[in-house]
């Protein structure tokens, strides 16, 4: 009937109005600063640098290979390679970044730096409350601000972190086995000890 | 009468009696004006918060909930904000008219509210000869303020909004007036107190004779409140300030407290016209049943006002905005003929008094039913049922 659509619409809104009081499932919004939605594992905002152990300086995985700097589409990364070397997790001497700056005002969160890094040294953070009064210095992150422990990475992306940690542990075991084999080889040239596979 | 019913009247008499006799009428007037200036803006403040919360609930979100307990002090925050904002007057604007327009919008609803009886013996200005006429004439003055605002702003959106507002207000003035005429016809008086008194006769021992319980009253109330929504620029008739089309309509160029005054004027107009609807059709401050007459009369008036506001908020949360041609067609092709038919129905009701009660409803049912069916058929011819094709 004429006007029936209006009554139907009124019924729909009345159902929503009453339902929002009786059914908490309907209220999909969150009172943001106090309530937060649980973070999604694949959420990403801006990159950070991973370090192992307790010392961000010694444990930094980055070897300043500068692949990410070259691949970065908006060119927001600046790396200056060190003059000296420091041992990596396998004990091999490697360069490290003397400067590692990311300009968050330029970064477009594309994750290409993470994809290209062969050392699993750069990963995506989930921090998004980055408002600042100073849009130049406040959004320019330096190496020491970017460095986060591996535990942080494990918390944000548990699946990725578990796979990477397993691979690194395997590499470490392989390297240790190779080192013992190398240490044993000159003393015992006999062929009965094949290198650990 | 009993004390709770007359508490405000007695209070006023007590205060007035402290003063010497020559100034007593002035003190009485000041107290009445003060009450109107305090009560209705307070209702306005609460209505804005409740409206925002209810609209939020209709959209499955909590609405404002930060300021004060459950967000109910939001109006205070909004008021402070609008007071402290810069008052911008465009350089090209006609500054005198631009300044006067918000006042012209706010004052008429306040004048109209002054003649509304809100309780037994509670009316600020009793006009026994011309109450309804005064109300309607003062209400028409809002159109002047709206057009002043739109014209003086020197802005195309303001002017478009003002043109829309004038077209809409003039068109809906007619059904509004014609639906009140039937009440005047049957009461035989323009006095709002007399109209309420006419509705106080008891039927069947319990039910009071509200006009809405008669066929012409029920139809008149529906027509009246539709026209009232349009007169008050409420959704779904809020074309003069359609945000998605013409920024904010006639108050585009207003900021700060002048903007707040427009907002206040709009709501005061809505309260005034709803109060008139309550007085004409819903029995004013009368209870519906004789057993409920212990509830204070002013509580009945403001309770009815609250219910009407709730319905208007509900409608606002439900209906989309009309198009300009739909708006005009609805006024001239539906509301106006129907309100003319309503006059006929009212006349038949008046002259069929000796008939049995149910038989008196018959002419009304025929007179409204046939045009309704014709409208339905015309609507279906214009808008045949749509068939939707979906991608498989």
pLDDT in the model for residue B314: 92
- Residues B147-168, buried b or exposed e (16+ Cβ, 10 A)? bbbbbbbebebbbbbbbbbbbb
Q: Which pairing describes strands A147-149 and A47-51: parallel, antiparallel, or unpaired?
A: parallel
User: CB distance B61–A1 less than 8 Å?
Assistant: no
pLDDT in the model for residue B313: 92
Distance in Å, alpha carbon of B22 to nearest chain A alpha carbon: 55
Is A163 in CB contact (< 8 Å) with chain B?
A: no
Contacts with A20 from chain B: Cβ below 8 Å: 57-58, 60-62
User: CB distance A16–B58 less than 8 Å?
Assistant: yes
Binning pLDDT at 50, 70 and 90, where does residue A189 land?
low
Window 114-133 of A: residues touching B by CB (8 A cutoff) are none
pLDDT exceeds 80 at position A196: no
CA dist B10 and A194 (Å) reads 111
Please give the structure tokens belonging to residue B390: 């979906």
pLDDT in the model for residue A176: 86
Pinpoint the alpha helices (H) of A97-194. Answer: 112-116, 143-146, 150-156, 158-184
pLDDT in the model for residue A116: 92
User: CB distance B57–A16 less than 8 Å?
Assistant: yes
pLDDT exceeds 60 at position A193: no
User: CB distance B318–A31 less than 8 Å?
Assistant: no
User: CB distance A6–B57 less than 8 Å?
Assistant: no
CB-nearest to A9 from B319, B372, B379 is B319
- Write the CA distances from A188 to A56, A193, B330, integer angstroms: 40, 9, 104
Q: What are the φ/ψ torsions at residue B122 (nearest 5 degrees)?
A: -110, 85
CB-nearest to B319 from A6, A20, A28 is A6
Could you tell me if B283 and B297 are in contact, meaning their C-beta atoms sit under 8 angstroms apart? Answer: no
CA dist A18 and B163 (Å) reads 39
pLDDT in the model for residue A108: 92
Lowest mean pLDDT among A55-64, A174-183, B12-21: B12-21
Could you tell me if A147 and A52 are in contact, meaning their C-beta atoms sit under 8 angstroms apart? Answer: no
Is A11 in CB contact (< 8 Å) with chain B?
A: no
Distance in Å, alpha carbon of B315 to nearest chain A alpha carbon: 7
Residue B302: exposed, middle, or buried by beta-carbon count in 10 A (0-12, 13-18, 19+)?
middle
pLDDT in the model for residue B306: 92
Distance in Å, alpha carbon of A32 to nearest chain B alpha carbon: 12
CA dist B196 and A38 (Å) reads 60
User: CB distance A20–B60 less than 8 Å?
Assistant: yes
Please give the structure tokens belonging to residue B168: 């809409």
Binning pLDDT at 50, 70 and 90, where does residue A186 land?
low
Q: Which residue of B has its CA nearest to A4?
A: B376
Task: Print pLDDT tens along chain B (392 aa).
Answer: 567 777 777 888 788 888 888 888 888 888 888 888 988 989 999 999 999 999 988 988 888 888 878 888 888 888 898 888 888 888 888 888 888 888 888 999 988 888 888 888 888 788 888 888 888 888 888 888 888 888 888 888 888 888 888 888 888 988 999 999 988 888 888 888 888 888 887 776 667 778 888 888 888 899 999 999 988 888 888 877 777 778 878 888 888 888 888 888 889 989 999 999 999 888 888 888 877 777 888 888 899 999 999 999 999 989 888 888 888 888 898 899 999 999 988 888 888 877 777 778 888 888 888 888 998 888 888 888 888 888 77
**Interhelix angle for B3-17 vs B24-58, to 10°?**
140
pLDDT exceeds 70 at position A190: no
CA dist B383 and B126 (Å) reads 49
Q: Which of the residues A17, A23, A29, A31 would you substitute to probe the B interface, choosing the one with the greatest number of B C-beta atoms within 10 Å?
A: A17
Contacts with B59 from chain A: Cβ below 8 Å: 16
Q: Which residue of A has its CA nearest to B378?
A: A2
pLDDT exceeds 60 at position A159: yes
User: CB distance A27–B65 less than 8 Å?
Assistant: no
pLDDT in the model for residue A194: 54
Binning pLDDT at 50, 70 and 90, where does residue A74 land?
very high
């Amino acid at each position: 009937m004429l006007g029936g659509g209006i009554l139907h619409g009124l019924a729909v809104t009345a159902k929503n109005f009453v339902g929002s009081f009786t059914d908490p499932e309907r209220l999909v919004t969150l009172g943001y600063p106090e309530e937060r939605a649980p973070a999604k594992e694949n959420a990403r905002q801006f990159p950070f640098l991973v370090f192992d152990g307790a010392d961000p300086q010694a444990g930094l995985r980055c070897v300043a290979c500068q692949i990410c700097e070259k691949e970065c589409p908006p060119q927001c990364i600046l790396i200056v390679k060190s003059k000296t070397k420091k041992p990596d997790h396998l004990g091999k001497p490697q360069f490290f970044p003397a400067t590692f700056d990311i300009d968050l005002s330029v970064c477009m969160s594309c994750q290409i730096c993470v994809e290209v890094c062969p050392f699993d040294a750069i990963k995506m953070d989930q921090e998004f409350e980055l408002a600042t009064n100073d849009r130049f210095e406040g959004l320019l992150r330096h190496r020491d601000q970017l460095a986060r422990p591996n535990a942080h990475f494990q918390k944000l992306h548990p699946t990725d972190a578990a796979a990477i940690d397993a691979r690194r542990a395997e590499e470490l075991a392989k390297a240790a086995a190779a080192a013992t084999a190398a240490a044993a080889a000159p003393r015992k040239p006999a062929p009965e000890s094949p290198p650990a596979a | 009468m009993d004390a709770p019913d007359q508490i405000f009247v007695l209070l006023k008499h007590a205060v007035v009696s402290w003063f010497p006799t020559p100034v007593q009428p002035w003190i009485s007037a000041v107290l009445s004006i003060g009450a109107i200036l305090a009560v209705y803006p307070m209702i306005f403040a609460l209505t804005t918060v409740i409206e925002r919360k209810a609209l939020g609930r209709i959209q499955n979100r909590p609405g404002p909930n930060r300021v004060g307990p459950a967000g109910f002090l939001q109006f205070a925050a909004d008021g402070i904000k609008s007071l402290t904002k810069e008052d911008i007057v465009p350089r090209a604007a006609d500054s005198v008219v631009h300044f006067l327009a918000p006042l012209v919008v706010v004052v008429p609803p306040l004048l109209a509210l002054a003649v509304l009886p809100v309780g037994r013996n509670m009316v600020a200005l009793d006009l026994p000869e011309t109450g309804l006429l005064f109300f309607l004439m003062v209400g028409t003055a809002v159109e002047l303020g709206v057009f002043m605002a739109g014209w003086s702003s020197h802005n195309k959106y303001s002017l478009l909004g003002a043109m829309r507002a004038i077209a809409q207000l003039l068109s809906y003035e007619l059904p509004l007036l014609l639906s009140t005429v039937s009440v005047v016809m049957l009461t035989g008086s323009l006095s709002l107190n007399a109209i309420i008194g006419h509705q106080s006769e008891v039927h069947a021992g319990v039910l009071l004779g509200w006009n809405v319980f008669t066929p012409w009253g029920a139809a008149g109330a529906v027509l009246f409140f539709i026209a009232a929504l349009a007169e008050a620029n409420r959704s779904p008739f809020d074309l003069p300030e359609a945000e998605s089309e013409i920024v904010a309509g006639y108050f585009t160029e207003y900021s700060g407290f002048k903007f707040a005054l427009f907002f206040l004027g709009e709501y005061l107009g809505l309260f005034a016209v709803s109060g008139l609807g309550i007085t004409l059709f819903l029995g004013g401050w009368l209870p519906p049943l004789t057993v409920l007459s212990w509830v204070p009369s002013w509580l009945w008036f403001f309770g009815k006002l609250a219910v009407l506001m709730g319905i208007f908020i509900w409608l606002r949360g439900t209906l989309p905005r009309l198009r300009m041609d739909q708006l005009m067609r609805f006024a001239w092709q539906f509301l106006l003929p129907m309100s003319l038919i309503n006059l006929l129905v009212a006349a038949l009701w008046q002259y069929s008094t000796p008939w049995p009660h149910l038989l008196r409803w018959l002419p009304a049912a025929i007179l409204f039913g046939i045009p309704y069916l014709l409208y339905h058929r015309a609507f279906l011819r214009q808008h045949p049922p749509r068939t939707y094709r979906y991608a498989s």
